[in-house]
Structures are given as structure tokens and as C-alpha cells.
């Protein structure tokens, strides 16, 4: 998560739920690229046609509410979307996104200061969000220390491997 | 300062004397649940973990085939087989195939796999259902479930607790589902995010265990991490009939700290309906029926309302009658045991004679998977828990959420109907 991400913004409202991120009928798919073809289909059927790899989703509060389906962040990542910025995230989606390596940023100010079509740059290491179109910048909420340690360890899988070694 | 019910269970499982909201803990789990969808991804993650060849305890994992089964297509069959093969390889004690289980959240309590004071995580957001029996239970994604499979522990942030106190006598034809819809309407779909909900009051003390399952089940609809009841004599009796395993019955301390206390007087509560397209868009039925709201499909079932008590309510309303020719009614008993009980009581025959299609237990219709998917422009009233755009199929369909009684009344008329009207008419 070192390199800065740069892309154009697709903006959505509050309560973007997992049923519209990846409708239930696709939940028997495992392949991330195949899932990615249906990302946001229930909300914006044109999303995958109009987005380009590296684009960024910006949304209001409670992004990812609803089901625990991990295929929701997997579909977003599989579509080539680089990151999601929201005012807040639903609890299970937040964990799932970090676990599968979809960069997420919480910043109400950034959401209010970014419009659809803006080009933005994100630095996952510092949480700095630059709106290149408008020449403004914002700072995302920092991850709590435990989550930061998890991210720095490379995610949950390496963490589990270390715990297993300790327990052995 | 004392601890809430959730804090007590979490502290014990973390080996700590006390915990505070916001604290990150590492907690031992008593049971890890997955269905064929969450398991398929979790198994893949586990295969990629160095040193993770075996699950932590083959007796403490429950695997339930319930979402796309009986297999909808070859891809679904592949996932069902993947979990079945994993269960065989790991010698998992509690594996439930089609015909021997049903909907995971109905099956686990029924099989004695949930007891008060236990900590349960599941690869399904409605895992919070088990709070009905005084357990801490929460839903997670597949990578977290894979970690729990091999470690037998999870990291958790201790949630602050919202206490909700319900008092008053429920009117006829008003049920736990109405109470919970009203609650989600009041909290909003993110009103309890990162929080525990602790249910209190004389109304919920009088509720059956089924009613408590319905209420704990929908805690996630307000964004909550878990919803929990104190295990009383009824809950303890329910569990002891199903397992000999020892368990601990916790109580919140008198001086426990609650982030918020909400009081709800239920004595004047009407049946409630969640209108499209969010579960918190809740209105009393008298408002919804001001205009005719015709429906194409009525669905009875799910982990929210697929219990024998629910089916009995529907059968009582439909007995000796025919459903409206304008609607189709689909009934999914929650589990094989519920199905058998309903069969032996004649409930299934009553429903079928009224014109309902009675299916085998499963989650399919609720999440738009199969066995009752809605088409463009169709409208359903359903006993399930979510009504987001596209939840039950087409993004151009509409879903209203209500109690089994309200759904049964609507089945007779073909439009959303107040079950109390039938009551007055002596139906």
C-alpha cells in the first residue's frame, strides 16, 4: 500500500448496500474478475462500462451496509476500482475491505469536497487525499493502532500465520 | 463501573477481568459458522495460509448448506461440494447437507449448538440471531472466518451498548417482528453501527424464544454488531432440552454503562411495515393501507420468520380459505425440523390447500438467489429482513417487510392488509 493512487471519481449517495454492490444472484461466483463485471450493478448498471481501471468510488455515509458477503469488496477490487472514500463504512464491509486489500478511506470533508469526474490522488501511507481538479486536499481518518499494525503486517493472513507459529 | 451483558461475555472470552468500549481484544470462540458461499471463499483463504492445514477444533465448526441449495446450477453445486468435501477432509462434526439442516440460523439453536454466554462468529450477517439465547454472536466475512477456523480466536473491538426497554402489552396481531421493525425505524439503518443492542423490558420478557430470534436477527438491520437478550428460564429450558454442555448465564451489572437508553411503549403499537427500499423506512400499517398496495408475491420464511410459531400464525389465518388469485405465496419452513413439525401438525397441508407453494428450507428467495426471485415491476410483501434495491431479484422490483400475520392477511386479499381487519371480521 505504498504507491499513491490516482484516478477519476464516481460519486454515490449514502447507504450503498451490499445487495447493490454485488446482487445476491452473483454470490456463487468466486473469481474476482468475473465478480468485478457486476460491481455496483444494482445501483449503477453502467458503472463497469464507464469506469477505467484505477478509478475511485466516493460515497456518503454507511458504505457497504447489509450482508457479510466478502464478494462485495472483492467485486469492487475485481472491477479495477482502486479505492473507496466514504464518510463512514458499515462494520463488516470495513473489516472485509481491509482483509482483501481494497484501500478504503474515511473522510467526510473529502467526500463533500469531491465531485463526480474529479481527478484525485490518494496516498494510502499518509491518508492524504488530493483533489487535482480543484486543487484542494484532505486527510483521511487514521486507522486505529491495531488495524494499522494489521495493515503493516500485510493483512490478516500473515497475522494468522504468525499467531499459528506462536501457538505451535 | 459495571459491565453490560456483551462486555461480560467478551471479557471472559478474552481472559480479562473487564473490557471497555473501543478496546481491541483477542477472544476465544465457542463456535464458527459458515454456509456454502462464505465457506467457499474462507476455504480458499485457509488453503493459502502457511501452517494452516487443520481447523482448530472439528467439534466447534458448523457448516450449513443453505443459500443456493438444492443446487440452483452447476456453479452452485460446485460450491456446495467444495464445502461438503472440506467437511469430510476436516472431519467436521456439525455439517448439515440438504434435507438434514435448513437455514443456518434456525438450525444451530435447534441442534443445541448455541448456549448462553458463548461467543459465536459466522460467515453470515444474521449470525446475530443467537443473541436471543444470551450468546454474543456476530457476522463476519470469509477471511475473518478462515482465521477463526484455524486459530479458534478472533480480534474484536468491544462495542458500546445501546439499551432498549420495551414495556406494555402487545395488541392482538402485533408481534416481535413489528417491535423490531419499529426499532429499526427508530434507530435507522446505521443507528447502531459498531454498537451492541441489549433488549430489556416486560414486553420482551413475555416474548417466546422465537420472538427473540426474530428481534436479535434484525439487529444488523440497524448496523449493530450484535443484539442480545438476557437468558431467562425460558431460554435456559430451550437450551437444556437440546444440549448437556455446561454454560454460564451472565447478567449485565446494575451500574453498567450504556451509550444510550431508548424506551418504547408498545401498548398502542400497530403492525409495522418497512416500505421500499430500506429496512428503516418503517410505517404503521394504517398509513401504508391508505391506498391499495397490490402485491404479486407473498413470501413466508427466512431466518427472521421461518419458525414453527410463524407458520402456525399463517396457517391459522389461511385455514379453510383460498389465497387471492392475484398473488403467489411461497413458504419456506426454516429448517427440516420445522418442516417436519409443520407437516405433522397439518400446517403444511393447510397452507398448500390455501394455494401456497411450500418449498424445502433454504435462504434462496430472501436474497434473490433462487426459488422465488422477483421480476421487473413486481412487488412482494415478505417476512424477511432486507428490502434493498434488488434484494429479492430485479432492481425494478419492490419489497415490503412485515410480520407473518400481515403477510398472511395480504395473501388473502392480494394487497397489503392489516391483519387486525381480519380479526375484527372474525376471520
Question: For A82-139, how does the pLDDT look when each residue is reduced to its tens digit (9 = 90+)?
Answer: 999 999 999 999 999 999 999 999 999 999 999 999 999 999 889 999 999 999 999 9
- Which cell is B425 given? 371480521
Distance of CA B220 to the CA centre of its chain: 9
What is the H or E stretch that residue B137 is in? strand B136-139
Q: From the candidates B192, B224, B387, B388, which should be mutated to test the interface with A, based on the most A CB atoms within 10 A?
A: B388
ipTM of the complex: 0.95
Residue appearing with cell numbers 430489556: B200
Report the alpha-carbon distance of residue A151 to residue A159 in Å, rounded. 9
Supply the CATH number for residue A153's domain: 3.20.19.10
Closest CA to A141 of A97, A87, A96, A93: A87
List chain A residues with CB under 8 Å of B147. Answer: 156-157, 159-160
Task: Indicate the fold that domain B5-264 takes in CATH.
Answer: Aconitase; domain 3 (3.30.499)
Task: Answer whether residue A2 shows pLDDT above 80.
Answer: no
Report the alpha-carbon distance of residue B427 to residue B419 in Å, rounded. 9
A62 with B189: Cβ contact below 8 A:
yes
What stretches in chain B show pLDDT beneath 50?
Answer: none
| Closest residue of chain B to A64, computed from CA coordinates | B223
Report the alpha-carbon distance of residue A128 to residue B388 in Å, rounded. 33
Handedness of CA B146, B148, B150, B155 (dihedral sign): positive
Which residues 146-185 of B have a C-beta within 8 angstroms of A? 146-147, 150-151, 153, 155, 157
Torsion of CA B386, B404, B266, B205, to 10 degrees: -100
Instruction: Examine residue B390 and say whether the peptide bond preceding it is cis (omega within 30 degrees of 0).
Output: no
Distance of CA B416 to the CA centre of its chain: 23
Q: What is the CATH number of domain B272-424?
A: 3.30.499.10
Q: In angstroms, what CA-CA distances link A2 with A94, A103, A149, B297? A: 20, 11, 15, 51
- Which cell is B308 given? 414453527
Report, as an integer, the average pLDDT of A142-161: 88
Q: Is A67 part of the contact surface with chain B (CB cutoff 8 Å)?
A: yes
Which residues 300-359 of B have a C-beta within 8 angstroms of A? none
Closest CA to B366 of B302, B416, B307, B410: B302
* DSSP per-residue codes, B224-250: -SEEE----HHHHHHHHTT--------
Q: Which residues contact B120 (CB under 8 A, 6 or more apart)?
A: B29, B30, B31, B32, B33, B108, B114, B127, B130, B135, B136, B137, B138
Confidence band of A155 (pLDDT split at 50, 70, 90): confident
Torsion of CA B50, B52, B53, B56, to 10 degrees: 170
What is the H or E stretch that residue B314 is in? helix B308-318
Which residues 235-294 of B have a C-beta within 8 angstroms of A? 278
Task: Answer whether residue A152 shows pLDDT above 90.
Answer: no
List chain B residues with CB under 8 Å of A92. Answer: 125, 139-141
Report the alpha-carbon distance of residue B139 to residue B385 in Å, rounded. 15
Show the domain range for A52: 5-167
3-state SS, residue B73 = coil
| Closest residue of chain A to B143, computed from CA coordinates | A99
CB contact at 8 A, A91 and B225:
yes
Nearest by CB to residue B388, choosing from A19, A41, A71, is A19
| Closest residue of chain B to A25, computed from CA coordinates | B369
Q: In angstroms, what CA-CA distances link A43 with A47, B3, B372, B389, B394? A: 9, 42, 22, 8, 12
Q: Give domain limits for chain B.
A: 5-264, 272-424
Report the alpha-carbon distance of residue B272 to residue B287 in Å, rounded. 10
| Closest residue of chain B to A41, computed from CA coordinates | B395
Nearest by CB to residue B51, choosing from A62, A70, A164, is A164
Q: What is the per-residue pLDDT for A1? A: 46
Q: How many folded domains does chain A comprise?
A: 1
Task: Answer whether residue A153 shows pLDDT above 90.
Answer: no
Task: Answer whether residue A154 shows pLDDT above 90.
Answer: no
Question: For B120-174, how does the pLDDT look when each residue is reduced to its tens digit (9 = 90+)?
Answer: 999 999 999 999 999 999 999 999 999 999 999 999 999 999 999 999 999 999 9
Give B262: exposed, middle or buried? Use CB within 10 Å, 0-12, 13-18, 19+.
middle
List chain A residues with CB under 8 Å of B125. Answer: 66-68, 92
Q: Is A49 part of the contact surface with chain B (CB cutoff 8 Å)?
A: no
A62 with B388: Cβ contact below 8 A:
no
* Nearest-neighbour CA in chain B from A35: distance (Å): 13
Q: Is A121 part of the contact surface with chain B (CB cutoff 8 Å)?
A: no
Amino acid at each position: 500500500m505504498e504507491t499513491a493512487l490516482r484516478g477519476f471519481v464516481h460519486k454515490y449517495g449514502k447507504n450503498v448496500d451490499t445487495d447493490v454492490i454485488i446482487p445476491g444472484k452473483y454470490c456463487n461466483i468466486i473469481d474476482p474478475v468475473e465478480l468485478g463485471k457486476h460491481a455496483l450493478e444494482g445501483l449503477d448498471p453502467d458503472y463497469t462500462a464507464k469506469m477505467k481501471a484505477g478509478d475511485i468510488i466516493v460515497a456518503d455515509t454507511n458504505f457497504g451496509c447489509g450482508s457479510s458477503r466478502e464478494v462485495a469488496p472483492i467485486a469492487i477490487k475485481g472491477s479495477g476500482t482502486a479505492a473507496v472514500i466514504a464518510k463512514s463504512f458499515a462494520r463488516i464491509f470495513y473489516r472485509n475491505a481491509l482483509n482483501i486489500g481494497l484501500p478504503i478511506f474515511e473522510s467526510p470533508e473529502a467526500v463533500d469536497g469531491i465531485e463526480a469526474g474529479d481527478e484525485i490522488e490518494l496516498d494510502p501511507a499518509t491518508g492524504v487525499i488530493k483533489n487535482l481538479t480543484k486543487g484542494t486536499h484532505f486527510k483521511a481518518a487514521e486507522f486505529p493502532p491495531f488495524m494499522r499494525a494489521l495493515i503493516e503486517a500485510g493483512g490478516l493472513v500473515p497475522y494468522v500465520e504468525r499467531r499459528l507459529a506462536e501457538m505451535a | 463501573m459495571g459491565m453490560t451483558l456483551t462486555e461480560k461475555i467478551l471479557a471472559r472470552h478474552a481472559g480479562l477481568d473487564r473490557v471497555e468500549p473501543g478496546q481491541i481484544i483477542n477472544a476465544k470462540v465457542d463456535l464458527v459458522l459458515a454456509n456454502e458461499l462464505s465457506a467457499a471463499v474462507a476455504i480458499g483463504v485457509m488453503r493459502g495460509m502457511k501452517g494452516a492445514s487443520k481447523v482448530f477444533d472439528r467439534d466447534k465448526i458448523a457448516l450449513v448448506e443453505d443459500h443456493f441449495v438444492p443446487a440452483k446450477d452447476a456453479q452452485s453445486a460446485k460450491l456446495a461440494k467444495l464445502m461438503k468435501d472440506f467437511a469430510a477432509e476436516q472431519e467436521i462434526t456439525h455439517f448439515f447437507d440438504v434435507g438434514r439442516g435448513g437455514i443456518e440460523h434456525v438450525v444451530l439453536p435447534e441442534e443445541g449448538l448455541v448456549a448462553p454466554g458463548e461467543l459465536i462468529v459466522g460467515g453470515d450477517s444474521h449470525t446475530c440471531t443467537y443473541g436471543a439465547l444470551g450468546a454474543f454472536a456476530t457476522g463476519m466475512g470469509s477471511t475473518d472466518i478462515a482465521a477463526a477456523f484455524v486459530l479458534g480466536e478472533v480480534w474484536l473491538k468491544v462495542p458500546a451498548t445501546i439499551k432498549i426497554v420495551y414495556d406494555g402489552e402487545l395488541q392482538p396481531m402485533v408481534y416481535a417482528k413489528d417491535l423490531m421493525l419499529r426499532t429499526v425505524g427508530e434507530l435507522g439503518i446505521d443507528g447502531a453501527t459498531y454498537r451492541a443492542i441489549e433488549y430489556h423490558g416486560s414486553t420482551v420478557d413475555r416474548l417466546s424464544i422465537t420472538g427473540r430470534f426474530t428481534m436479535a436477527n434484525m439487529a444488523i438491520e440497524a448496523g449493530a454488531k450484535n443484539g442480545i437478550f438476557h437468558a431467562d428460564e425460558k431460554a435456559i429450558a430451550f437450551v437444556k432440552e437440546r444440549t448437556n454442555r455446561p454454560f454460564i448465564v451472565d447478567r449485565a451489572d446494575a451500574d453498567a454503562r450504556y451509550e444510550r437508553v431508548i424506551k418504547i411503549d408498545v401498548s398502542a403499537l400497530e403492525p409495522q411495515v418497512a416500505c421500499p427500499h430500506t429496512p428503516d423506512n418503517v410505517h404503521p400499517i394504517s398509513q401504508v393501507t391508505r391506498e391499495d398496495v397490490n402485491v404479486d408475491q407473498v413470501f413466508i420464511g427466512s431466518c427472521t420468520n421461518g419458525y414453527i410459531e410463524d407458520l402456525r400464525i399463517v396457517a391459522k389465518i389461511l385455514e379453510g380459505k383460498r389465497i387471492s388469485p392475484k398473488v403467489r405465496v411461497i413458504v419456506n419452513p426454516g429448517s427440516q425440523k420445522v418442516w417436519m413439525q409443520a407437516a405433522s401438525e397439518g400446517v403444511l397441508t393447510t397452507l398448500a390447500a390455501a394455494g401456497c407453494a411450500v418449498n424445502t428450507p433454504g435462504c434462496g428467495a430472501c436474497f434473490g438467489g433462487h426459488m422465488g426471485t422477483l421480476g421487473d415491476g413486481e412487488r412482494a410483501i415478505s417476512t424477511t429482513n432486507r428490502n434493498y434495491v434488488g434484494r429479492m431479484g430485479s432492481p425494478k422490483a419492490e419489497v415490503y417487510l412485515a410480520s407473518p400475520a400481515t403477510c398472511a392477511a395480504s395473501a388473502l386479499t392480494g394487497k397489503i392488509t392489516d391483519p387486525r381487519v381480519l380479526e375484527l371480521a372474525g376471520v
